Structure formats: C-alpha cells, structure tokens
Structure 1
Amino acid sequence: MLSFSSSSTAERKLAFLVVAFFLHHVWSFSIVPLHALQRRGLPFRNFASKRVYLSSDENDSSKANDADKGIDLSLDPRLYKVRLSRAPGIDWGTDLSFSFVYVRDMDPAGDAAFSGEVQKGDQLCELTPVGGVPIPLIGAPFDLVMNTFVELDKSVREIDFVFFRGTKQELKAICANGNSIQGESEQITVTVIQNKGSQEEAVVTLTAKPGVNVRELLVDNGINVYQSVTRWTNCKGKQLCGTCIVNITKGSLGTNRKSMDEASTLRENPDSYRLSCVTFAYDDITVETFPPIKAAQWTR
C-alpha cells in the first residue's frame, strides 16, 4: 500500500503516473488478442469452419441413416471391434508413407492395454464415437487420423475402434481383392494438368492402384516431371536432385505426409508443392506439372 498522508499534490500525481506506467506494461504483456496469437504461430486452431465430428447429441434420423456404413466385421476374421475411452493409451505409429496408422505401443495403465484385446501392430481401420457415425480410416494419412481425434465433439467419452490384426500389406490385400472393407475402389484416379495456362495446356487422366508413386506413374506414362535440362540430369527418383516438383492441387490429404528433408527442399514454395519421387497417392488426386518455381530453388 502507498501512503500519501503528508505528500504534496505534485508528489501524488507523480506516484500515480509511476503506478499507471507499471500497470500498463503488466496489462500489455498479459492480455494477448487472438489475432496476435495467430501471428506468433502459437498452436491455436479455429474449428468454426470445420465439421465437428459426431456429437453424441446427433439426431436419431442421422444415426439411423449412417448406421449401415460401418465396416462389416464378417468380411474377415482378423477384423474386430473394441470400445475404449477417448484417450485409450495407444501410441500410434506409421511407416515412411505416413499412412495406414497402427498400434505402435500401449500405456500399460491405459484402457487399451487393460482391455486385453488390442495388440501391438494392429491396424486402425475405423472409429465410431458412441452415439455417432463411423469414420473410415483405412490407409488414411497420419495427420488426418490425429486431426480426427482432435475434432471429436467434447461430449464424446467412448469410441468403438475397429482394428485389423495383421500387417499393412495384408490389409491392403483384402481391399485389393474385392473384399473392400470400406467399399474402397481397387483403382484411384490421378488427373494430370500439363502446361497450365498456356495454349498447350492438356489434361490427362490416369488410373493406378492405391499407394502408387507419383513420379513413377507419370514417367511410365510419358509425362515429364522435370523442368528444363534437369530432365537429363535428374537422380531417377533417389530424392537427390530435388527437381521433380509437382503441385498437388486437389486431394493432398490422399497422399503421404512430407518428410523433413522434402519440406526443407521445398521450403520456399507453397505447401501443395511436392517432390513427385517421394509422393505416394492413396486416393484420387490432381497433379499440376511444371508449377512456377523461383530461381532460388535451383541455386541452393
């Protein structure tokens, strides 16, 4: 407490200004507006424009309409369903394709381990918040799976998980042999836009199996992914030259996630730019060849 019992009016004013100056700095560092958080790159996410998955308060008609869209467990004896808490104590993993998420490890004190049903290596196929509708996740990119958990409605407490007890290759084989667990097609469509914006612009539609390498698919079909003389000096898909750049204009979530090396190579370009030699497509995508590249890309 400050006492001004014998202070002059000037002294009171001076003391007040000192206190006000101090409080101004306290307030200015304590209260940070939302737009400032976003500018600083802090982990704020705005869900206002996103669909929030599966509130337990969904209306009955919606539940009834979607009830038959889940995976049919009778398709293969290695499929099973287990109900776990929203935080099941599972450490999720994936391979270098950053898709086909599986159980890498479990917390011994977690719900999954206590269930006695889930095992390390089991492939995640689907999740259904209790009272909601199924979300198919076979072959989904790792980021998409993690975002699905994040975007669950806060009212969701328990989830029905569908797992496949087997390897990624075995799971893919089931889908490819016509026992499509999700109704997934044996083929994906890759739409290629060449010479965009010029008089020579052309669109080519290719089909391939899920998991196809984008560079190999395009080159095998006579489509050049290398700009200028790099066509003759490229590394032939070894991720050494960084010149097979394409732009995934649609369907980027249907591809594997960028590695740190790829992200570094393309750091001055839009997020949709990829090195085709290390890009694998698991769903329909649209690819633009010869996207605009800054000179710095070739002078590093």
Structure 2
Amino acid sequence: LLLVINQCTCYIIKYKSVLKINNQLNAKKYDLNDFINISINKPLGLSLEEVESDGNKGLYIEDIDEGNAKKTGKLYKGLLLISANGVDVKFASFDAVMDILVNAPIDKPLDLTFIDPRKVEKGPAIITVITPDKKEIIVNSLKGQNLRSVLLGSSIDLYSSKAKFTNCAGAGQCGTCVIRLSNDIDWETRSDYESKKLKKYDTSTRLSCLTTIEGDCIVEIQPEKTVS
C-alpha cells in the first residue's frame, strides 16, 4: 500500500510491496539525538509506503513531492515515520497511520518525527548477562548480531551440562539455547515458532539462536521452566 498525502487529500494505491533491504530494521534502539522533528501544515507532499506489506511495521518516505514537507529541507527518501501528533507509529498499521494523518485539522500543523533506519541498524549494544548463580557479566556487542553467537563467543555458559553435547548447533530445533530477555525496548516480539518451542517457559524467554540483537538488553542464562 502507498499513502500519498497532497493537496489536503489522501488516496491509496494498492500494489504488491517489494521491500528493499535497507528499509528493514535489524535493530531498534532509538536515540533521541537521531530524531528528525518537523511541524508542518497540509498539504504535506509526502508519499508513504508500508515497511512490510500487510504488516504492522510502520511507514517510510517513498517519495517527496511539492509541498510543505519539502520546504523544511530536513526530509529525504527512506526515512521512517516513528511518531505522528504524539502517537507512536513505529509498529502501526497502514490504516492506523492514515487515520491520524487524514483526520488531522487542516488549520493546525502536524507534528511528525522521522528517523534514518541506518541510525538504528548499526552501532554498539551492551548485554548484561545474568548467570544461573546470579553473577553479572557485561558483554559488548553490535546491533544486528546473532545473540547465541555473541554469547558463545564471549565464553558464556549458555547450555546446561547435558545440552552442551545434545544441542542442535544453532539450527533452532532443540530449544536448549533458551534465555530470558528483558529491557528489550522496541525489540521485535518472538515468533510463533519460538512460542511453541518455549511453551514451558514464560513469555519473556527467547531462543538465542533465533534472536537478533537490537540494542542494550538484559539476558538471563538457563532460565527455569514455569511449567513442568
């Protein structure tokens, strides 16, 4: 779906969206210093496209036409819309974003916040590891790296004694690389596949082999099951 906002009107062009890899977010630790804030009246002159077809992944600038957005000199193609009139739209649906933009008063400016996806895809991430005996270990990593690989590369005892010899080597099949994740603000939620594999654990657990580091977080190693 493509949302075109111009001349105080909105219309929708339906087509099969093809994602460009640089519009996909691998890491979502948002830094306020990287925000691009504008306050403009309609007509905006912006073409916004879904980050992911038929998904609640927000919208990004597909094109900039003549209008007030262009006059700001701050915007360019590829920027992600993360807030509209104070509403967090990072993971909003197309329709939800459209409702905010279309229903905004014509005589009042729209407050919009954007960010360059490259600002959140890369950069350092600090992992605070909690071991089974409650010791804290700080592991430095990069956003976009695989969590299991980083933990093992940092000599963290990810597996129980038995699982060290029976695990699937990161193929996502055995479920023994389970960790409990917290302080994971704006991270992707775990997949349905993970939920099925981890049905004996609480909802904050993840398979580290299927988890991409998206920013600073706390990782508890070898969490206990909640269901026997």
Question: Structures share a fold, TM > 0.5?
Answer: yes
**Partner AA of 1:222 in structure 2:** S
Distance 1:192 1:146, change over 3 A: same
Distance, in Å, in 1 between the alignment partners of 2:175 and 2:212 is: 16
Offset of residue 246 of structure 1: 0.3
Pick aligned residue for 1:83 from 18, 39, 44 = 44
Answering whether residue 220 of structure 2 is matched by residue 275 of structure 1, we say no
1:210-239 deviation digits (Å, cap 9, x = unpaired) = 112111111001112222311111111110
Pick aligned residue for 1:247 from 163, 166, 180 = 180
Q: In the TM superposition, what are the counterparts of 1:12-27 in structure 2 within 5 Å?
A: none
Distance, in Å, in 1 between the alignment partners of 2:58 and 2:99 is: 22
Structure number with the higher strand fraction is 2
1:133-175 deviation digits (Å, cap 9, x = unpaired) = 697x8xxxxxx5228x9699979625646476xxxxxx53xx4
Answering whether residue 80 of structure 2 is matched by residue 125 of structure 1, we say yes
Distance, in Å, in 1 between the alignment partners of 2:122 and 2:199 is: 34
Structure number with the higher helix fraction is 1
Pick aligned residue for 1:238 from 171, 190, 202 = 171
- Counterpart in 1 of 2:144? 211
- Counterpart in 2 of 1:36? none
Distance, in Å, in 2 between the alignment partners of 1:71 and 1:239 is: 38
**Partner AA of 2:174 in structure 1:** C
The higher relative CO (CA closer than 8 Å, separation ≥ 6) is in 2
Offset of residue 193 of structure 1: 0.3
In structure 1, the residue corresponding to 2:44 is in which secondary structure?
Answer: strand
Distance, in Å, in 2 between the alignment partners of 1:83 and 1:128 is: 15
Bigger Rg, which one: 1
Pairwise CA RMSD: 4.6
Q: In the TM superposition, what are the counterparts of 1:80-229 in structure 2 within 5 Å?
A: 83=44, 90-93=49-52, 123-129=78-84, 132=85, 145-146=91-92, 157=104, 160=112, 162=114, 171-172=117-118, 175=119, 186-195=123-132, 200-229=133-162
Normalised to the residue count of structure 1, the TM-score between the two structures is 0.46
Pick aligned residue for 1:262 from 190, 194, 201 = 194
In structure 1, the residue corresponding to 2:180 is in which secondary structure?
Answer: strand
Structure 2: unaligned runs, 5 residues or longer: 1-31, 68-76, 105-109
Normalised to the residue count of structure 2, the TM-score between the two structures is 0.58
Aligned length: 177
